[in-house]
Structure 1
Amino acid sequence: MRFLLDENITPKVGQKLKEFGHDVKDLITSKQFGMKDEEVFMLACKEQRAIITINGRHYIMLIPQRKADIKHYGLIWVRCQITIRDSDKLGEKINELCNVYCSLDDTIFKIKKTNSGDFVYEEYPYAKAVYNQ
């Protein structure tokens, strides 16, 4: 799958996803940090990439306002701070999500860390409500 890592996600997560064969672009390595959320969203749409971010709420607000001719390629909302040590685990969990879902188009997933330190994901129901109108 194709991903765009927001500047609040360490590039190490992208490195792990690349090991699994995913096409990953991150805003830090590509020196595109400081972009407005709207610009990041449009870049992801243009390049057909799902966004991985900690600022999911900002992007969720953009989805209903999208134009009919713009396809949304998915949003993975990480609901916790990621340490360098967590990077591999997060990459593995995102890869697992990709193995379960053949496409992330028009979906929003939340990933959070449990008390035991494991990552879990769930589909955010708002995405279906937005797209079924």
Structure 2
Amino acid sequence: MKVLLDENITQKSIPVLEKYGHDVIHVLNRFEAGKRDEDVFELALKEQRALITLHGKDFVVFIPPRTELVLHYGLIWLRGFQVTSKSYEGVMEIIGNFLKNKGDSIKNIYYAMKKKDNSYEIVQRFPKTTKMLIEV
């Protein structure tokens, strides 16, 4: 799967996701720091990449149900927790495996990943569906 990491996700995450066979780039591989969200989202569309970000609120405005966009390649919002130098590897392992299992079926879907006790919950936010609990 093709993945774009937003500026707020450490570049150290790239090799973790690549272990799962994903083609991963970081926003800073294409743009200078501080690029507009619209430009980042356009890059994800142009290169057909799922976007992973800590600032999902800045990107959900570009996707259904808030717009009439016909196609996007998936959004994963790491919501309500910071990905630190200690936690990024575990978080990205979970996402890497999740994306490997989902494949292209995340097109037009927005997920939120939340920390819950000693586990992470990946919830499909749009279109609405059931929760998926992933233990660490």
Bin for the TM-score computed over the shorter chain: 0.7 to 0.9
> Residues 29 and 43 of structure 1: is their aligned pair in 2 closer, same or farther, counting only changes over 3 Å?
closer
Under a length normalisation based on structure 2, what TM-score does the superposition of the two structures give? 0.82
Indicate the percent of aligned positions where both proteins have the same amino acid. Answer: 35
The residue number in structure 1 matching 2:134 is: none
The residue number in structure 2 matching 1:100 is: 101
Offset at 1:98?
1.6
Deviations 1:17-49 (A, max 9, x none): 012211001023445321111111110000000
The residue number in structure 1 matching 2:132 is: none
The residue number in structure 2 matching 1:119 is: 120
The residue number in structure 2 matching 1:58 is: 58
The residue matched to 1:84 in structure 2 has which SS? coil
CA RMSD of aligned residues (A): 1.7
Under a length normalisation based on structure 1, what TM-score does the superposition of the two structures give? 0.83
The residue number in structure 2 matching 1:86 is: 87
Displaced runs of 4+ in structure 1, greater than 4 A?
none
Offset at 1:56?
0.6
Deviations 1:51-93 (A, max 9, x none): 100111111111133544xx20000000111101111111111
The count of residues paired between Structure 1 and Structure 2 equals: 124
CA contact (8 A) 1:13 1:90 kept: no
> Residues 30 and 65 of structure 1: is their aligned pair in 2 closer, same or farther, counting only changes over 3 Å?
same
List runs of 5+ in structure 2 lacking aligned partners.
Answer: 129-136
Offset at 1:13?
1.6
> Which one-letter code corresponds to 1:6 in the other structure?
D
Q: How many angstroms apart in 1 are the aligned matches of 2:12 and 2:120?
A: 16
Q: How many angstroms apart in 1 are the aligned matches of 2:74 and 2:92?
A: 16
Q: How many angstroms apart in 2 are the aligned matches of 1:66 and 1:35?
A: 24
Q: How many angstroms apart in 2 are the aligned matches of 1:66 and 1:18?
A: 32
> Which one-letter code corresponds to 1:105 in the other structure?
K
- Which protein has the bigger helix share? 1
List runs of 5+ in structure 1 lacking aligned partners.
Answer: none
The residue matched to 2:114 in structure 1 has which SS? strand
